[in-house]
Structure 1
Amino acid sequence: MSITGAEWLARSLAASGQTHVFFVDAVLRPTLLALSRLGVKPVLAHTEKAAVYMADAYARVSGRPGVVAAQSVGAANLAAGLQDAFLARAPVIAMTGRKVAAHQHRNAYQEVAHAPLFQAVTKFAAEVAAADELPQRLRQAWAAAVSVPARPVHLDLAGLQAEVIEQGQVAAPPAELGALTAPRFRPAPDPQAIEQAAAVLARARRVAIIAGDGAALSACGAELLAVAGKLAAPILTTLGARGLVPTTHPLHAGVVGSYSAPPANRIAAGADLLLLVGCDSGDQVTHGWRVPPAGTPVVQIDADPSEFDRSYPADVAVLADPRAALAALAAALPDAPRDPGFLQDAQAQLAEWRAEIAPRLASEAVPIDPARLCAELSRALPEDAILVADTGYSGIWTGTLVEITSQAYLRAAGSLGWAFPAALGAKCAAPDRPVVCYCGDGAFHYHMPELETARRLGLAVVVVVNNNRGFGQGWPNVRRVAGNDSDAAAEILRFGESADFAAIARGFGLHGVTVERPGDIAPALRAALARNETTVLDVRTDIESRAPEASIPGG
């Protein structure tokens, strides 16, 4: 018995465990209505990028692909939103309508070629010209999305609103793809490679570990601590892997690279061998490929073979799921006590920096020092919370000063404004967990209309806006370029009189609180976390307060 493409797609997504599908009208209308009848919530967003950001965070939290859709006219906007998911290795299935073949190359209204738009931000893309192609194409796209490296995929569905696919007939039974989660495969390492890695690591006196986004996807925190314990090695992470091990653990040494606190890069540079675990060795994690210094020996573990020798030669390459490889490595390493000198030196550097930053964490300054805001957030976050941080300064503040013990940490891979829609997507994936969004005022301006989405769907997230009336990260640089003329610099980067985000939230029927004094942060956070609705905390901060700056070993 055949059913319509709309019914087949809806039944397949429901059977595969999807709880939400994100979209901007007008696309897949019969499918969305069928999904609603089946208990899957269609989430109407106000922009295609916001819809993608929701699907992105939904995927990162759930391990299942986030599904997002837009009609033909919105395809370009949707493609632009996929950049963050691509960079962060998040499985997202993007579906777009596409005008029928007879209308192509004839100046069809508001349509441009879709394939070039999606080429740079997907790992797989295919056209679906008829409904009976859906079973094969959806399975192929889903499997590609969750396989290493997990990344977005694109299905271009025939019809402006995908109506050709929805109205056609499918004879196959609905697909059940829920077993395919990211990472889909966890290949075991070659025993010879583990033996070689263990021998090299055992000989080295000063080993540092850098765990990256691939390690976070593998969820290998326990195995990482076991290996680090045997090697007496400090663990550094990328921003995306923050929280893989508790930041308060004695082996944890912080985020390394461009968004790090000062000790992290010095610790990495002081190692005589680096163990890279699921780490892509890009310019941010290496601070412009200066950390580690050229010539530092590297043992590299990764599930993606294309990451070996990309930026640093791998003296030993272990192709495997990081969790499987680390478990095998821990068993292969000798149990003999290690010289703890390098680890103790790293811990001393961290303790010295923490003592140096401590006065700012307790600052009573007005406007508020964001360091104090981070300290209060560390104390307020529930153990099962999800902290969603925006890019730029939000990533640096939270990546260096907010302690993550048992909480989850999601960060923007580079798209300003990502965090608030992403927080809503995270809440959809984990409705019983507290979700806190940390963003600057520049970022929050991007997607404020999604406050209406939060209200309509009854989603409760806490939005902490670090409101310094401008783009704070670049402020001193622009002022310097302007010859220390603050008025000229302000014309470039300041927003003038601050928006009243608390009042804006109330205008959307939500709760909003303005926080102007440090002593009011803690009670505001407690009250916001206790509310069963989205709450915006408009925290008035000082643009002159600088986040911790990464060190450049050697000057």
Structure 2
Amino acid sequence: MNNIVSHQLVRYLERRGIKHIFGLCGHTNIAVLSAIEKSSIQFINVRHEQIASHAADGYARVTGKASVVLSHLGPGMTNAATGVANAALDCIPMVVIAGDIPSHYYGKHPHQEVNLHSDGAQYEIYKPFVKRAWRVERPELFPEIIEKAFQLAESGQPGPVLVDVPMDIFSKEVDPHLFDRQLGNTKSLRKPSLDQQTAEEIIDAILAAERPILYVGGGILLAKAATELQKFVDHLQLPVAHSLMGKGALPDDHPFILGMTGFWGTRYINDSCRNADLILGLGSRFKEADCSSWYPEYTFDIPGTARLIQIDIEPSEIGRNYPVEIGAVADLKQALGILTKVARAKVPEGVRRPGLQQEIADVQAGFRQKNVAMETSDAFPMMPERILAETRAVLPRNAIITTDVGWNKNGVGQQFPVFVPGSILTPGGYATMGFGGPAAIGAKIAAPDRIVVALIGDGGFGQNPALLATARHENLAVIWLIMNNNAFGTIAGLEKAHYQTTFGTVFEKDGESTSPDYAAIARAYGVEGITVESAGDFKPSLERAIALNKPVVIDVRMINNPVPTTGYWNILDIYSPGEKISHVSTD
């Protein structure tokens, strides 16, 4: 019995250091579940597979290692697909192990098989968004496949992979030596750095530039290169702008941090990038929202005013959206190390930019001052600015924040200071509603000694409330802070601005709210539920939730004000061409 594939798989995972598996049962994976029961691995049981994949995503972001999802075939795989795709677009390493129909039933239309176009091909559902999808055809091939799966998920530009296993393969015997021999394979690949000549060319270009800027993406955090980034910035005193996913790569109280660019960027940040004469892009795809839909008059004017140097671990990202003068494929931790070494050799005393430092400080102070009225308003429903300001005031610097979409993503990116690299987990590329709640579960399991708060909207929390069952079962002290505007607020604002209606976006009928009582839902799951009744009640409620040290849902009603912006998004042209309509203020 111990020599069957399912038991040897679990044994392999134990020796690889896997401590948690996220998933949900099904008749195709119970052989694996029975093996996990007798192992040191903790199975995090969920009530919906999307919760499993989002939680595994959050777990991987905190640990920096591939997480593991165990799924059933058919609806199990498709339920999990949204979370796996979200991980893919944010480059998060994940290994999905899915049971499938018995191999001897291919083409017979057995229970839950999807075979409209080909037989035994359910695993192909994942092909558009995973780095690779394997279907295991024979038991003796499984050991090499699972080893390759982890290596591929964690190497280069990280991402999820799928290992699809017909359920009869799980129960077949296999020589344990085939798994044992995989232990001799390295579990961490050596990563490429910059050569000396390229590093010198880059530093020379920076030193010759009048208005250089570093543009930082999530690749810095994936490479665990935040320390190296700060050393480089400190030596040359370079201003740093970042994408949404790059937030936190440099602490938000660093004197040379500008902030987030693009649609939800401020005018000063966008203008600083647009007027730069040299941009060093580090681990960024230069995506649409971060670049104001690539309109040169808003954020980046490349090559109009600026030359671009781009470094990334993935070759296909270099030059994807802007022409590049120097493109280098390298691990950013290694690259920043040699760039700093070369910079110290060329300018031992470093570069000092006191005028720029003061300018950034003045602008930041001015932006904070403009928000004071909102942050101190006693209005109820609350101003979102006050919710964010008081949350930041209560939390320690190293608290982990997960976000969803809307104010709790765009507003947080713009206005919520992050001080510790990797302490904010945001759905970037896929922008998945429903990510923040389950991701907080994974984050807390990965970092049990840190405070974890999910800043989410009522629309986002409503996607996966069953996550509370998992939180109660595992006694996870996560706080779900629901910024409740009784709507899919961002979309409501867009529709109102362009079509003078909010049809299908607001949770009302005949003038009455149809939203549930989220605190009562929490209590029904056996979780503490708090309803905030006034603006003055919010901060004490959050402090109490932290002190309880158990799962808590806080429901706070919020005014549906849009996030202010000076950037651009070309959907505004598409909705109302030529009319220059925006649903946000431009102060």
| TM-score under structure 1 length normalisation | 0.93
1:235 and 2:235 are equivalent in the alignment: no
Amino acid at match of 1:3: N
SS at match of 1:96: strand
SS at match of 1:153: strand
Q: Which runs of 5+ in 1 are unaligned?
A: none
Contact 2:293/2:568 (8 A) holds in 1: no
Which residue does the alignment assign to 1:409? 424
- Please state how far the C-alpha of 1:451 moved relative to its aligned partner: 0.6
Which residue does the alignment assign to 2:187? 180
Which of 309, 315, 320 pairs up with 1:310? Answer: 320
- Please state how far the C-alpha of 1:384 moved relative to its aligned partner: 2.9
1:549 and 2:550 are equivalent in the alignment: no
Contact 1:2/1:169 (8 A) holds in 2: no
Equivalent pairs counted in the alignment come to: 544
CA deviations over 1:31-81 (Å, ceiling 9, x no partner): 223223222111121111111111111111112211112222222222233
1:201–1:548 distance in 2 versus 1, CA, 3 Å: same
CA deviations over 1:138-170 (Å, ceiling 9, x no partner): 0000000000100000111012xxx42233323
Which residue does the alignment assign to 1:259? 264
* Range moving further from structure 2, 134-143 or 218-227: 218-227
Task: Give, in whole Å, the separation in 1 of the partners of 2:143 and 2:504.
Answer: 54
CA deviations over 1:354-405 (Å, ceiling 9, x no partner): 2212221222111100110000111111233211111233211211222111
Q: Which runs of 5+ in 2 are unaligned?
A: 115-120, 570-579, 581-587
SS at match of 1:378: helix
1:22 and 2:22 are equivalent in the alignment: yes
Task: Give, in whole Å, the separation in 2 of the partners of 1:218 and 1:428.
Answer: 22
Task: Give, in whole Å, the separation in 2 of the partners of 1:242 and 1:378.
Answer: 15
1:178–1:280 distance in 2 versus 1, CA, 3 Å: farther
Task: Give, in whole Å, the separation in 2 of the partners of 1:287 and 1:33.
Answer: 51
Which of 111, 114, 119 pairs up with 2:127? Answer: 119
1:66 and 2:67 are equivalent in the alignment: yes
Runs of 4+ residues deviating >4 angstroms: 173-179, 338-344
> 1:467-478 to 2 correspondence within 5 Å?
467-478=484-495
* Range moving further from structure 2, 31-40 or 62-71: 31-40
SS at match of 2:294: coil
SS at match of 1:549: coil
Task: Give, in whole Å, the separation in 1 of the partners of 2:364 and 2:125.
Answer: 45
- Please state how far the C-alpha of 1:435 moved relative to its aligned partner: 1.0
Amino acid at match of 2:546: L
SS at match of 2:463: helix
Contact 1:194/1:318 (8 A) holds in 2: no
Contact 1:146/1:180 (8 A) holds in 2: no
SS at match of 1:274: strand
Task: Give, in whole Å, the separation in 2 of the partners of 1:482 and 1:277.
Answer: 39
Task: Give, in whole Å, the separation in 2 of the partners of 1:482 and 1:497.
Answer: 23
RMSD over aligned Cα atoms:
2.2
Which residue does the alignment assign to 2:372? 358
Contact 2:55/2:442 (8 A) holds in 1: yes
Task: Give, in whole Å, the separation in 2 of the partners of 1:453 and 1:231.
Answer: 48
> 1:205-244 to 2 correspondence within 5 Å?
205-244=210-249
- Please state how far the C-alpha of 1:457 moved relative to its aligned partner: 1.4
1:551–1:481 distance in 2 versus 1, CA, 3 Å: closer
* Range moving further from structure 2, 336-345 or 192-201: 336-345
Contact 1:260/1:396 (8 A) holds in 2: no
SS at match of 1:3: coil
- Please state how far the C-alpha of 1:100 moved relative to its aligned partner: 3.1
Identity over aligned residues, as a percent?
29
Amino acid at match of 1:68: V
Which of 511, 526, 534 pairs up with 2:543? Answer: 526
CA deviations over 1:273-317 (Å, ceiling 9, x no partner): 111111111212212123311312011121222211111122122
* Range moving further from structure 2, 42-51 or 364-373: 42-51
- Please state how far the C-alpha of 1:177 moved relative to its aligned partner: 9.1
